[in-house]
Amino acid sequence: MKAIVTVVGKDQVGIIAGVCNTLADENINVLDISQTIMQGYFTMMMVVDLSACATPFDRLSAKLSAFGEGRGLSVRIQREDIFDAMHKI
Amino acid sequence: MRDISNIMDTLRMIDQQHLDIRTITMGISLLDCVSEDPRRCCDKIYDKICRRAANLVRTGENIESEFGIPIVNKRISVTPMALVAGSCDTKNYVPFALAMDRAAKDCGVNFIGGYSALVQKGMARGDEYLLQSIPEALASTQIVCSSVNVGSTRAGINMDAVARMGRIIKETAHLTRDTDGLGCAKLVVFCNAVEDNPFMAGAFHGVGEADSVINVGVSGPGVVYHALQQCKGQSFDVVAETVKKTAFQITRMGQMVASEASRRLDTPFGIVDLSLAPTPAVGDSVARILEEMGLEVCGTHGTTAALALLNDAVKKGGVMASGHVGGLSGAFIPVSEDEGMIAAALDGTLTIDKLEAMTCVCSVGLDMIAVPGDTSAETISAIIADEAAIGMVNSKTTAVRIIPVEGKTVGDMVEMGGLLGSAPVMPVHGASSADFIARGGRIPAPLQSLKN
């Protein structure tokens, strides 16, 4: 199963490293990353593969948002289908 | 390559513009629960609802967490209870409502609809007893919703039923006076009721439906409002196009959630309802969309035209986004549940008469309107008759959900709580309609040709 991880917040050292470490701990493979500064905010999107991850989705989601909370970042993971549904015919 | 700005758009819609799935409603047929013994019938009703809907709430929550889209309500609709209970050897139908209430609470849903009767042409024994029991049933349950269909384009309007509904609404308001007539917020009087509506309080599971089915209602007035803010001063062609595109995106999300819920619950997918359903939250209002089109206050001249455009564009955008569209599918204008409508009513610009005109071009009708407690049953019946006539002649669904609040008068506020919101008590005309309602009988079905 593929999912999209999004990170939005104040730019700082170590965001990508931190998110990637968290994902690596859960055996999640990163397929694609794109990152930009939008309206002054660090904005990152990652496409990830969850097929080798054993952690239930809600726990994973909680772990990522916990990582973000201490750093003033909004980090979340959602199944990619929702974005495909809205933006592709 | 995925576009990061598309992804951020979706997140903004969810975070800042109140985009959500308003309801996943599981329709359940109770036709196989009939029994001569009322207690046995109640047991079968309870068992079947619990069996079918056992995983509904959990599945909804899982989808919510995995896709990151809020699903506000999980609900159940059942076969009109008058049809199921009609076989029982009893005149007291309240226990059936209690069985529904208990089953729904045990499943964890927040409303169950279907304490209903279809009496557009006449009343069978079961319909009689059900109507009699509505006030007590709504007063003695918490999450049961009731609806009665009193007219249709094919059958005309059953004015005997209309007269009774006025009295039933008054009695319900009286029995639930401690909560400002909350019982009336759970009671809808329809013309041309639909069988697959996922929205409360008017949901029931029609007899033409499968044994159980998943219907989904989307929302998104906030998203449409935000999109229209980007086209200030531009022509209506641009407005219509913008609403269509937005409705398409919202509905695609609803379709995806519906398919996912249907697969996980192993229950056939029924329909997606395209209605723009507001909430009392600021920024989630249909009235504010109409005002964004250039009206100073919702309810002023031009409101009906603005609503007609909105309603049509939402349907045009939504139809292509979903495999099956159904339910009520239009813009809702419930006064108490819409922050902009509340403000417009307080301002005095939005009146019941204007709301009635607006219901000619949108879904559904005079919805969540508080009126003075001393409004007579006949006046309420006459309001229902007017609304049913609009539905009957225009071949559309119309409904009345009106709350005569005991002890309150024009200008007072009524707090319904939660999604039901709060409403200012609105004035009704003082001149009597009593002799009109006393006539009884039926208003014949209208011609479907020679339309003018």
Q: What is the CATH number of the domain that holds B347?
A: 3.20.70.20
**Residue B416 included in any domain:** yes
Contact B11 A6 (CB under 8 A): yes
Domain count, chain A: 1
Q: Tell me the pLDDT tens digit for each residue of B185-230.
A: 999 999 999 999 999 999 999 999 999 999 999 988 999 999 999 9
pLDDT at B245: 93
Query: Which candidate, B244, B145, B122, B197, places its Cα nearest to that of B397?
Result: B197
CA-derived radius of gyration, chain A: 13
Residues in B 42-101 with any Cβ partner in A closer than 8 A = 62, 65-69
- Parent domain of A19: 2-87
| Cα B20 from Cα B411, distance rounded (Å) | 33
| Cα B390 from Cα B398, distance rounded (Å) | 7
Domain count, chain B: 2
Q: What is the CATH number of the domain that holds A42?
A: 3.30.70.260
B164 and B240 both lie in a single domain: no
B113 by Cβ neighbours in 10 Å (0-12 / 13-18 / 19+) ranks as: buried
B186 and B229 both lie in a single domain: no
Whole-number mean pLDDT of chain A? 92
CA-based nearest distance A18→chain B, Å = 20
- Parent domain of B396: 216-440
Pair B186, B169: CB distance under 8 Å: no
Residue where a domain terminates, one of B158, B191, B224: B191
- DSSP letters of B216-240? EEE--HHHHHHHHHTTTT--HHHHH
- Bridge partner list, A45: A6, A34
Q: Does A38 touch chain B (CB under 8 A)?
A: yes
- pLDDT beyond 90 at A52: yes
| Cα B94 from Cα B130, distance rounded (Å) | 8
Pairing of strands B111-118, A29-38: unpaired
Query: Which candidate, B370, B295, B308, places its Cα nearest to that of B335?
Result: B370
Partner residue opposite A82 with nearest CB, options B4, B8, B10: B10
pLDDT at B4: 85
pLDDT of chain B, 452 residues: tens digit per residue: 578 888 888 888 888 888 899 999 999 999 999 999 999 999 999 999 999 999 999 999 999 999 999 999 999 999 999 999 999 999 999 999 999 999 999 999 999 999 999 999 999 999 999 999 999 999 999 999 999 999 999 999 999 999 999 999 999 999 999 999 999 999 999 999 999 999 999 999 999 999 999 999 998 899 999 999 999 999 999 999 999 999 999 999 999 999 999 999 999 999 999 888 898 888 899 999 999 999 999 999 999 999 999 999 999 999 999 999 998 888 889 999 999 999 999 999 999 999 999 999 987 889 999 999 999 999 999 999 999 999 999 999 999 999 999 999 998 999 988 778 899 999 999 999 999 999 999 999 999 888 77
pLDDT at B1: 55
| Cα B38 from Cα B359, distance rounded (Å) | 40
Reported residue count of chain A is 89
